[in-house]
Chain A
């Protein structure tokens, strides 16, 4: 875990260097990877730190994106200004939902959050006056910094990488802080944590709300990057993808989250060369990673670097 910071720095630097050489198409995929990374680093608070299995993460990404979209297109706010209520509002909603929901554990929580995500999609698709229904909301204004519009993929990527860097450092700082340790204590043994005086519900809800705040940041980035949101961008399938990214990256670390998000963004695109069956390959590939690399890419990297030390791989939240 201590080794995560240098690796995160290397990853972000690699993204920055790539931004000078990559084609427009690769730049777009890198932007998608960065946005997914922000969301998945956030999901790591809930899953990796606190052991909460959430299959509703995309709903929080969507809540952030929709709030920004509505405030910019209907109320004429600047996207910077709109991002504030989008992010904080999403955090509050997550906290309010978390209080009753987080009493659930394991697959109960997984299915409850899945139901939450499906419900979000139904509302987004049918509350036409506000959300534009299934047509979504188009013409969302882009961001600009000091008069420079982040219109092209390259400058957006620089901005996205900066956001990801700040949020990653913050996530690592939280990991080492008292609240971060409390989250992991709750993950590892709830009863023991409660006995040492940790407020289990409070800690779980904080982790959940933090993860939703990151999700909302990702949503704001998404809306200002694509300039268009619609319900199917935030379906439960995306939530499963977020969780898959975290698992494939491995070991519930910030670096793993970024690696997983990037890999699963690029993999289906690379697999296009397989022709019609490319998604079938993608599924098999993912299964193979889960079976042969149970600790994800991070576990693989660790094994390459040195012989495995017993007990170093935190097995996610194997709680069931």
Chain B
């Protein structure tokens, strides 16, 4: 029993990070139709934004975190202007390859800047643990799950209760209609990229203390986020959350109860199965809406 609690908590913490990465991916997809293969590099950059402010500059924690998030917002804006805008009218394949190309550049630029050594960010709740029925749970893992839940709540409020969020959703649904309504579509799209970058950045900051960060960690995270997105449903926020948690749990429980060597087949197998049987995922858009 203690083992099961342990595994479930670890799976949820892992899944929370996947979920946040998946949400960043989904927000961009819903608003712009872009399948962002550089999404994993966004998370990697988030961690290294934290490394820059907290370790290199040695800023105190609240300032450092705020600084890292600000850096990511800036990055999102830059990405919008330098990558999204030039590619926005291209066919879907060109956009896929384009985001892969910029992903290669980001990863190698990070290697040049930060080197190949893995780094460890310290957590505000470093080394604190909670024992539940014999399971040892790091406070940081709980904090990650809680922070993810809070972020998702805020995101929901933003998208459903604020004028900005409602305008964003209008753009996501129909750009031309949004333009006719007098919405400043470009500003809203830019904000979407900023939001995605910030969310990925926060995911990066949270995983820094849990795992070690290195400049090559982006792509594996992106793959899991893709699987999460498909399982939960393309373009759906609740789907991204459910998918992320599912992938995290499948990874940990699958390794324990099925096979540690083949555990990743569960997530990707489920992803393919969902595509075949229920391509709209658990919560997703109806497939004829797009594609």
Do A and B come into direct contact in the complex, CB within 8 Å?
Answer: yes
- Chain A residues in contact with chain B, CB under 8 A? 47, 53, 55, 100-101, 103-108, 110-112, 114-116, 118-119, 122-123, 126, 236-237, 240, 243-244, 247, 276-277, 279-284, 286-287, 290-291, 294, 315-320
Q: Assuming A114-B226, A115-B227, is B264 touching A284 (CB within 8 A)?
A: no
The 8 A CB mask of B220-261 against A (1 = contact, 0 = none) is 000100110110001000000000000000000000000001
0/1 per residue, B86-124, Cβ < 8 Å to A?
Answer: 110011111011101111111111001000000000000
Is A107 a contact partner of B291 (Cβ separation < 8 A)?
yes
Residues of B near A122 (CB, < 8 A) are: 262, 264-265, 268
Decide: B108 and A283 in contact? CB cutoff 8 A: yes
Q: Which residues on the B side are within 8 Å of A108 (C-beta)? A: 230, 234, 275, 279, 287, 291
Residues of B within 8 A of A280 (CB): 104-105, 108-109, 112
Chain A, interface SS category? helix
Is B272 a contact of A290 with CB atoms below 8 Å?
A: no
Q: Is the CB of A110 within 8 A of B96?
A: yes
Given contacts A55-B96, A286-B98, A290-B90, 4 further A-B pairs with CB under 8 A are: A53-B96, A107-B92, A277-B112, A280-B105
Given the interface pairs A243-B96, A280-B112, the reply to whether A290 lies near B101 with Cβ below 8 Å is yes
B128 proximal to A (CB < 8 A):
no
Task: Determine if A116 and B92 form an interchain contact, defined as CB atoms under 8 angstroms apart.
Answer: no
- Complex interface: chain B residues within 8 A of A236 (CB): 223
List the A side residues contacting B275 at CB < 8 Å. 101, 104, 108, 111-112, 115
B210 interface residue, CB < 8 Å from A? no
Whole-angstrom distance between the alpha carbons of A279 and B109 in the complex? Answer: 9
Q: How far is the CB of A151 from chain B (nearest CB, A)?
A: 34
Q: Considering the chains assembled together, what is the distance between the CA atoms of A26 and B97 in angstroms? A: 27
Q: How far is the CA of A287 from the CA of B202 in the complex (A)?
A: 27
**A284 contacts which chain B residues (CB < 8 A)?**
101-102, 105
Q: Which residue of B lies closest to A119 (CB)?
A: B268
The complex places the Cα of A210 from the Cα of B1 at a distance, in Å, of: 52
Assess the B112–A276 pair: CB atoms within 8 A. yes
B134 located at the interface, meaning its Cβ lies under 8 Å from any Cβ of chain A in the complex: no
Query: Which 4 A-B residue pairings sit nearest by Cβ, starting from the closest?
Result: A283-B105, A318-B91, A106-B291, A283-B104
Which residues of B lie under 8 Å from residue A116 when comparing CB positions? 272
Do A244 and B279 touch across chains, with their CB atoms under 8 A apart?
no
- Chain B contact residues (Cβ within 8 angstroms of A): what range? 35 or more
Tell me the smallest distance from the CB of A288 to a CB of chain B, in Å: 9
**A104-B279, A119-B272, A243-B97 known; A317-B91 Cβ under 8 A:** yes
Binary contact readout B265-291 vs A (1 if CB under 8 angstroms, 0 otherwise): 100110110011001000000010011
Q: What would 28 A/B residue contacts be, using CB atoms closer than 8 Å? A: A101-B275, A104-B275, A104-B279, A106-B92, A107-B92, A112-B230, A112-B275, A112-B276, A115-B227, A115-B230, A115-B271, A240-B97, A247-B93, A247-B94, A276-B112, A277-B109, A279-B107, A280-B104, A280-B108, A283-B105, A286-B97, A286-B104, A287-B101, A290-B94, A291-B87, A291-B98, A317-B91, A320-B92
Chain A nearest CB, measured from B16 CB (Å): 22
Chain A residues with CB below 8 A from B101, complex form? 244, 283-284, 286-287, 290
Chain B residue with minimal CB distance to A292?
B86
> Shortest beta-carbon distance, B280 to chain A, in Å?
9
Cβ–Cβ contact A110 & B272, under 8 A: no
A231 → B minimal CB distance (Å):
13
Interface centre among B87, B97, B107 (most CB of A within 10 A): B97
B92's contact among A53, A103, A123, A283, by CB below 8 Å, is which?
A53
**What distance in Å separates the Cβ of B60 from its nearest Cβ neighbour in chain A?**
32
Chain B nearest CB, measured from A96 CB (Å): 13
Q: Is the Cβ of A115 less than 8 Å from the Cβ of B272?
A: yes
Distance in angstroms between the alpha carbons of A114 and B275 in the assembled complex: 12
The answer to whether A247 touches B97 (Cβ under 8 A) is yes
- A320 near B264 (CB under 8 angstroms)? no
Are B91 and A320 closer than 8 Å at their CB atoms? yes
Say whether A47 contacts B103, CB under 8 Å.
no
Closest to B268 in A: A115
Which chain A residue shows the least CB distance to B89?
Answer: A294
Residue of B nearest to A116 (CB): B272
Docked-complex contact B109 and A316, CB < 8 angstroms = no
Chain B residues in 8 Å Cβ range of A47: 93
Is B35 close to A, CB under 8 A?
yes
Q: When the two chains form their complex, are residues B91 and A316 in contact, meaning their CB atoms are under 8 A apart?
A: yes
- Chain B contacts of A103 at CB under 8 A? 276
Q: How far is the CB of B58 from chain A (nearest CB, A)?
A: 27
Chain B residues in 8 Å Cβ range of A286: 97-98, 101, 104
Given known contacts A106-B92, A108-B287, A315-B91, A240 and B100 CB-to-CB distance under 8 angstroms: yes
Name the residue of chain B whose CB is nearest to the CB of A47. Answer: B93
**Closest CB in chain A relative to B80 CB, distance in Å:** 14
The verdict on A119 contacting B92 (CB below 8 Å), with A101-B276, A108-B234 known, is no
Interface digits, B65-95 against A, CB 8 Å rule (1 contact, 0 not)?
A: 0000000000000000001001100111110
CB closest residue in chain B, given A286: B101
Closest to B261 in A: A126
Separation of A316 and B91 alpha carbons in the complex (Å): 8
Cβ of A320 and Cβ of B33 under 8 Å apart? Answer: yes
Do A290 and B291 form a contact, CB below 8 Å, given A100-B276, A279-B104, A316-B91? no
A112-B275, A119-B272, A122-B262 known; A107 and B96 CB under 8 Å?
yes
Chain B hits for A101, CB < 8 A: 272, 275-276
Assembled-state Cα–Cα distance A47/B94 (Å): 12
* A279, closest chain B residue (CB): B108
- Chain A residue with Cβ nearest B85: A291
The answer to whether A318 touches B272, judged by C-beta atoms less than 8 angstroms apart, is no
